[in-house]
Structures are given as C-alpha cells and as structure tokens.
Structure 1
Amino acid sequence: MNFDFAFAWSIVPELLQGLLVTVQVVLLGFLLAVLVGLLLALAQRALGKLLPRLCRAYLSFFRNTPLMVQLYVLFFALPLAGLTLPAFSTGVIGLGLYYGAYIAEAFRGAIDGVPAGQWQAARALDFDPATTWRRIILPQTVKPMLPILGNYLIGMFKETPLLAVITIPELFQAAKQVAGMTYRYNEPYTLMALMFLLISVPTSLFFNYLERRRHV
C-alpha cells in the first residue's frame, strides 16, 4: 500500500487530538509518580517496622505485575467494589502508581548516596528533620535523579498505547480508529510514530540540558 500524503495530512487533526490526551495523561501521571516515589522513599526510612513493610509490599506488587493488569483492576474491578473512576483519571492514577514504585527505588538510591557527613553536619547544627530533608538532603538528590526521571518520563509515553484498553482516546487509539475506519494503516501508524518521536526526542534533550546545567 502506497503512502498517501494527502490522506496523511487530512488525519493529522484527529491524531493531534489523541496526542494532546497522551501528553496530558503522561504529564499528570508523571507528577503523581514523582510524588508517590518520594513519599515511598521517605516512608521506607521511617522508624518502626510497619510502614517500611507496607512500602516493600507496595513496591513488590507494582514492580512485579504488568501495568495492563493494574489498569484492568483499576478500571473494571474497582467498580465492583463501588468505586468507579473516569477512564482519564484511571490512566493517570495507573501510570502514577506503577511508575511511582520505580521512582521510589531511584529516590532511595539517591538518598543513600548523600554522604554521611551531610547528615552529621545537620545534626551538629541542630537542624530539625524537616529542615534537614528540605534544605540539605533532597536538593542533593536532584542531580542523580534527573537522567532517571527523564528515562521514566519517556518510558511513560511509550506505555500509553496500553491506555487504549480502558478506552482513553490517546494517540494510539486515535491511529487505530483511523486505520479501522479507512483500512489504511501506513499513514496513521507512521504519523503516530513520528509524533511519539516529536515528544520523546525533545524530552530527552531537555533532561540532558538540565543535567549539564547541574554540573556547571
């Protein structure tokens, strides 16, 4: 089947609508994942045994089960328990909870990498725990976290086709609908791939730029 540039141009608006949904759900899911990851990393250092154990259970579940299964549970199983969420919200929460488990481990590694002298200096200066975390420890986790966060953000964009299973009209779903209605596959899927590249490449360059700025 030949590539029809006129047809490809005619379906660009429909695919752009799907791209907009993709960007929205990924950015919101990424913010949630960073928040969840940070909270989990801090909770793992909490005193006592219960909270760290709960965190380990969370990490084990979300890191060892497929994202698609988690999306199915959120979208199809939770309504059986009386909790129904819109598809868009389910996608955001699903991505956030799933990637939050991975980002938590990255945060934990970055926190463990802070030299012991920094903690000792904070105690010597009689800083309270909140000040120690906010002004000394967490700022030092930013530099090692930047490339990791960039990789996970790009990974989230590549996972968005899974959101089609819960009826979110993201980019892959839009391309699939065009292909199903027109029986032309080259144009919608080629444009979809190009649009993913237009998102992923600048995102990677942006995080590389931030990482270089941190070294200046």
Structure 2
Amino acid sequence: MKIWDWSYVWEVLPYLYRGAILTVEATLLGFAIALVLGLIFALIRQSRNRYISTAMAEMVEFIRSTPLLLQVFFVYFVGPQFGIFIPAWIAGIGMLGLHYAAYCSECYRAGIENVEGGQWEACTALNLSRQRTWRAIILPQAIPPIAPTLGNYFIGMFKDTPILAAIAILEMLQEAKNFGAENYRFIEAITMVGFFYLVFSLVASALVQAISLWLVRRYHLQ
C-alpha cells in the first residue's frame, strides 16, 4: 500500500474546493462582524457612565474566558430548549464574530488609550462634537498601530473555522474527513487541508502587513 497516492490528491480536490469556499466565507463574514462589534464594545467601554462601562467590561471578559466551541454548542443546542432556533450557519458565523469581537474590542481599546490626552483637549478647545472627535481625530490615530494585531485575529479566526463542523457545517476539514472515511485514505486529504491553511495564512499575513503599512502612511506620514 502506497503511503502517498497522487490519484487521491486529485480526487479530493473537489471536496476541498467546496469546503474552502465555505471556510473563506465564514472567515470573512465572521471577521466583519468581529470588527464592527469589537469597535462598538470598545466605544461602550469608553462611556462616562461607570455602570455601563463596567457591564461591558464584564461581558467582554466572560466571552474571552469561555471556549468558542462551548459558546457555539450553547447557542445551537441549548437555545432550542428556550424556544430560540438558530440555523447552523447563522449560529456558527455569529458566534465566531462575537467571540473574536471581544478580543478585537480589547485591541481597539488599547489603540484608543494610546492616543495622547492632548488630542481630546484640543478637540474640546475647537468645540468639535464628540461624534466628529471620534470619527476624524481619535480613531484615525488609534487604528493604524493595532492593524497587525487585528490581522492576527483574522488569521486565528480562519484556523478556528473547523469548530463549525461540530454543528454540521461542512467546512474544509470536515470535507476532508468525509473523503477519508469514504475512501479509507486520510493522509492525502488531511495533508492538502494543512497545505491550504498554510498558504492562506501566509497570504493573509502579507496582506495584513501591506494594509498596516498603508494605514501608517495614510494617517501618519502625510
């Protein structure tokens, strides 16, 4: 019996293609949710109301301190017991986004707190509204330094998508497992999955570096 058979490599590719499309879609949609929710969480934590900011901080800490798989299981399997029925795709993407939003919010918060206090004082002296202060002054200075960290979370989310298989979403790794079970050949399928994850991570890392450099030039070197 051959250890490696190229014929199985070509045979598994259609399976991996289907799974790869779903994996990439899950990553892009989940990360879009994480970026938006993370920023909202970070802004709420800047609230002048101590009770609101504290409640938000506790919620973020709770999400970060519990496993993603447990959160997905709770929403998808426990939710129906309370009359909450969420399709697997929505539950999986939603929890990916929410889980990583907690991490992104801490990243945003670090960037915001890194902005010099004099910037706030200058905005107040110029009588700028709070909304314009955030949009035009604070966030453009806070986001470029944290772009590499956000990019790392993007790559991390991509590598966490196999968790979706736990609620019957056929992402790439699950497709490879199904192929292996049907053909009694796992080495080619699993190896090709690893190769795809490696290539995607390297490409994503290069894109993150390019975007980070562009942001720094756009907001700091003009």
Amino acid paired to 2:9: A
Correspondence 1:157 to 2:150: no
| In 2, Cα distance between equivalents of 1:214 and 1:41 | 20
Correspondence 1:200 to 2:186: no
TM-score, length-scaled by structure 1? 0.97
Correspondence 1:68 to 2:56: no
Correspondence 1:46 to 2:47: yes
Q: CA deviation at 1:56?
A: 1.6
For residues 66-215 of structure 1, what are the structure 2 equivalents within 5 Å?
66-215=67-216
Q: Deviations over 1:48-101 (max 9, x none)?
A: 222112212211211111111001001101111111111111111111111111
Q: CA deviation at 1:10?
A: 1.4
Tell whether the 8 Å contact from 2:145 to 2:216 is kept in structure 1 after alignment: no
| In 2, Cα distance between equivalents of 1:124 and 1:93 | 41
Q: Structure 2, unaligned stretches of length 5 or more?
A: 218-222
Q: Deviations over 1:154-196 (max 9, x none)?
A: 0001111111101111011111111111111111001101111
For residues 3-82 of structure 1, what are the structure 2 equivalents within 5 Å?
3-82=4-83
TM-score, length-scaled by structure 2? 0.94
Amino acid paired to 2:45: Q
| In 2, Cα distance between equivalents of 1:116 and 1:130 | 17
Q: Structure 1, unaligned stretches of length 5 or more?
A: none
| In 1, Cα distance between equivalents of 2:214 and 2:47 | 33
Tell whether the 8 Å contact from 2:144 to 2:215 is kept in structure 1 after alignment: yes
Q: CA deviation at 1:36?
A: 1.1
Residue 220 of structure 2 corresponds to none
| In 1, Cα distance between equivalents of 2:165 and 2:105 | 26
Tell whether the 8 Å contact from 2:38 to 2:104 is kept in structure 1 after alignment: yes
State the aligned residue count: 216
Which has the larger displacement, 79-88 or 48-57?
48-57
Q: Percent identity?
A: 37
